[in-house]
Amino acid sequence: MPEQDTETMRVLQGLESGNPSVRLQAAMAVGSTPDPRFVDRLIERCAIEPEFFVREMLTWALTRHSSSMTLPKLVDELRSERVQARSQALHTLSKIGDRRAWPAITRALLTDADDEVARSAWRAAVVLVPEGEESELAGVLATQLGRGERETRLSLSRALIALGEAMVSALRAAMMDSDPRVREHAIATERLSRDPDAGFESAIEEAKRLVALGTTGEEER
């Protein structure tokens, strides 16, 4: 067997090792010496890898390969029934940053029932959204206000804030929503956009106070 094929087999076996440190080293080796033959295996591993730090290295290794090769395969993963496959593919697309992937960031992904998938979709969307479509994206993201626990709500707030002025209209509409949880989240996001150093918890507590008073706080400015 040629020496190159032997090395390829060794790395591929490393990606399947029961030792996470070995898997990490294998992913690092692939990223350090990109080879199209590894792309499929890297993507397959992303879908099942249990260790966060190894998944991050797998994503890094994928970003080291040509996006014309990785994009179609990652987009295919977005249709997977496996939650981690969708989430990690979205995460990787956000790191690659190639806007040709934008059409694959569907409303279904942005509103996915799984919080981790939705959060990954929000992060990818704000990176990939084409110029001029930010307001439409903000409108979709605003439908998710009030969703989930702290980390999910904070992720959504950050995504909306990243859209800048494009979020204003959708956020103001959400401040008048009939659901107090939606109103609180919208008000907190707006306050956080004006004062990033305030902290999310502080913004939420202030938003709860304002909702209890029946105001958005805009009257105070």
Please report, in tens digits, the pLDDT of each residue of the chain (221 residues total).
345 577 778 888 999 999 999 999 999 999 999 999 999 999 999 999 999 999 999 999 999 999 999 999 999 999 999 999 999 999 999 999 999 999 999 999 999 999 999 999 999 999 999 999 999 999 999 999 999 999 999 999 999 999 999 999 999 999 999 999 999 999 999 999 988 887 888 888 888 888 888 877 665 55
Which is nearest to 94 in space by CA: 67, 54, 134?
67
Residue 106: Cβ within 10 Å count: 14
Is the Cα dihedral 154, 159, 164, 166 positive or negative? negative
- Find the helix packing angle between 150-162 and 200-213, rounded to 10°: 90
Residue 161's H or E segment, with its range, is: helix 150-162
Distances from the Cα of 64 to the Cα of 32, 60, 104, 108, 212, angstroms: 8, 7, 21, 29, 51
Q: Is 178 a domain residue? A: yes
In a domain, 5, yes or no: no
Structure-block tokens of residue 168: 């204003």
With residue 208 as reference, give the H or E element that holds it.
helix 200-213
- Cα–Cα distance measured from residue 26 to residue 12, given in angstroms and rounded to the nearest whole number: 7
Question: CB neighbours of 55 closer than 8 A, spacing ≥ 6?
Answer: 46, 49, 88
Answer whether residue 157 is part of any domain: yes
* In a domain? residue 13: no
In a domain? residue 69 = no
- Give the span between the Cα atoms of 71 and 83, in whole angstroms: 19
Residue 73 falls within a domain, yes or no? no
Q: What pLDDT is attached to residue 212? A: 86
* Domain tally, the chain: 1
DSSP 8-state assignment for residue 16: T
Contact indicator for 174, 186 with CB cutoff of 8 Å: yes
In a domain, 57, yes or no: no
Boundaries of domain holding 149: 129-221
